[in-house]
Amino acid sequence: MERIVYLNGAYIPETEAKISIFDRGFLFADAVYEVTAVLDGQLIDNEGHLARLEHSAKELGIKLPMTSEALTAIQESLIEKNNLAEGSIYVQLSRGAESDRDFDYSEEIEPTLVLFTQTRKIVNTPKKKTGIKVISYEDIRWRRRDIKTSGLLPACLAKHAAHAAGADDVWLIEDGFVTEGGSSNAYIITQEGKLVTRPLSQDILSGITRDSLMKLSRDTGIEIEERPFSIEEAYAAKEAFISSATTFVWPVVEIDGKPIADGKPGRFTLKLRDIYINTAQKNL
């Protein structure tokens, strides 16, 4: 069935949604975006996602055409119009289109706002049982990874390479240390039982799921170390996992062909996944 999508003020069937070939999102990846999970027809951690959209847009000087409340109302309308029970909602804001291709842009340019829904299983996905295999891959992205732009070519190439190698995803490496996953934050549990993840900076995206997981992990009493870790430290970890809005928490059971511990999803990882989902459902 055709989705109803949102484009610059109109709710229209997806095949009728058209944007200019001069849109800077298309020509220069001059656009920011967000993905919010939907469970039982409700938005999960959406305030965090919209706050991050504001951060991304502000850092690039892209005008946000409306308040977070107005954006949320559009997200909710799309959930209803498309009968979305479980999946995600994508929001993209590009700087807009002018009458020709030009690197520079005028301050008066009007942004292009697009939203659409995506149906997918998040809670009962087989990946939570099997875990995923990742390969390490050089992080060739630009230096402002705290800004969520649609310039995702490095991630597309990395994920394609992972699939070609028989893996599910990548862990990106810079100067010998893991920055993050292909489209997720990366964590290990050390043999001593500490949760280790890279601290927030311009090197990584400040994951909204990460933010919730750090609070929930603290409540479990686990010791947390926010510091960079190497891929060798990850090979020797007791557990490894990723987080994002579209996976919540997925165990990582193999890195570069080496099983993590016994090669099965870790206990803390699965517990944290359950806690996250239960908390999200309770707050609906």
Residues binding ligand PMP (CB under 6 A): 35, 180, 183-185, 205, 207-210, 243-245
Q: How far is the CB of 176 from ligand PMP (least distance, A)?
A: 19
Distance, CA of 265 to CA of 128 (rounded, Å): 8
Residue closer to ligand PMP, measured from CB, 97 or 213: 213
| Residue placing its CB nearer to ligand PMP in the complex, 43 or 97 | 43
Residue 148 annotated to the active site: yes
SS3 of the chain: the string is: CCCEEEECCEEEEHHHCCCCCCEHHHHHCCEEEEEEEEECCEECCHHHHHHHHHHHHHHHCCCCCCCHHHHHHHHHHHHHHCCCCCEEEEEEEECCECCCCCCCCCCCCCCEEEEEEEECCCCCCCHHHHCEEEEEEECCCCCCCCCCECCCHHHHHHHHHHHHCCCCEEEEEECCEEEEECCCEEEEECCCCCEEECCCCCCCCCCHHHHHHHHHHHHHCCCEEECCCEHHHHHCCCEEEEEECCCEEEEEEEECCEECCCCCCCHHHHHHHHHHHHHHHHCC
Q: What minimum distance in Å lies between the beta carbon of 209 and ligand PMP?
A: 3
Comparing CB distances to ligand PMP, the nearer of 23 and 180 is 180
CB of 35 to ligand PMP, least distance (A): 6
Q: Which is nearer to ligand PMP, 52 or 238 (CB)?
A: 52
Q: How far is the CB of 112 from ligand PMP (least distance, A)?
A: 20
Nearer to ligand PMP, 96 or 207 (CB): 207
CA 61 to chain centre: 22
Q: Tell me the C-alpha distance between 123 and 10, whole Å.
A: 31
Q: Report the alpha-carbon angle 89-95-98, nearest 5.
A: 130
Nearer to ligand PMP, 50 or 62 (CB): 50
Q: Nearest-CA neighbor of 116 among 84, 151, 153?
A: 84
82 phi and psi, to 5 degrees? -105, 10
Catalytic residue (one of 128, 133, 148, 159): 148
Q: How far is the CB of 187 from ligand PMP (least distance, A)?
A: 11
CB of 61 to ligand PMP, least distance (A): 22
Catalytic center residues: 148
